[in-house]
Amino acid sequence: MSDTSIQATRIVSPAVPDLPHASWTNGIRIGNELVLSGMTAHPTLDDTGGPLSTREQTLVVLGKIRALVEEAGGSIANIVKLTVYVTDIADKDEVGRARREFFAGLGAYPASTLVAVSGLVFPALKIEIDATVRLDFDLTQIQAAR
């Protein structure tokens, strides 16, 4: 019997260090697919020690996702789906603004789900995003159905 298992590797990026006490992995590559854990903007302070806005937190989180995808040899054009968790649904417009900035120029956006949750691991966190990525997929090549 031949071994037909797909090789899986842990994705490690200096920009998104695994926490020594963590009971999860930030990212796993299985063949051409990456499955990324939920990312937050922790710590949620700006350069002056003030809290980050929802838009700023979203951009930090998307930057972490980018770092993991690039570490695996991909780009943001390979992101297939995002699941976005916000603590206040009223922040959806700020999240959308950050997503438009982040994915500008690609011509298409990943599939997405946005849901409101009662809280995240730390009270200052306003958003968490997990991602599914296919290294053999490219948003810039996506075509609209007819």
| pTM across the whole model | 0.92
Partners of 34 in beta bridges: 29, 133
Residue 1 has pLDDT above 60, yes or no: no
User: What CATH code is carried by the domain that includes residue 54?
Assistant: 3.30.1330.40
Residue 145 within a domain: no
Helix residue ranges per DSSP H, 23-83: 54-71
Across residues 76-100, what is the average pLDDT? Answer: 98
Residue 103 within a domain: yes
Q: Closest by alpha carbon to 80, among 130, 28, 127?
A: 130
| 3-41 confidence digits (pLDDT tens) | 678 889 999 999 998 888 889 999 999 999 999 999 999
Residue 17 within a domain: no
| 96-144 confidence digits (pLDDT tens) | 999 999 999 998 999 999 999 999 999 999 999 999 999 999 999 988 7
Task: Domain count for the chain, please give it.
Answer: 1
65/15 Cα distance (integer angstroms): 10
Give me the count of residues in the chain. 146
Residue 7 within a domain: no
Centroid of chain to Cα 22: 18
In angstroms, the Cα distances linking 139 to 3, 43, 99, 104, 125 are: 33, 30, 14, 11, 29
Residue 101 within a domain: yes
Residue 2 within a domain: no
Domain extent, residue 99, equals 24-139
What's the token pair of residue 119? 């809280």
Helices first, then strands: H and E counts in the chain: 2, 6
What's the token pair of residue 30? 């299985």
> Can you give the pLDDT at residue 143?
80
Residue 6 within a domain: no
Name the amino acid, one letter, at 70.
E
Residue 8 within a domain: no
In angstroms, the Cα distances linking 137 to 4, 37, 42, 110, 121 are: 23, 20, 30, 11, 32
53/51 Cα distance (integer angstroms): 7
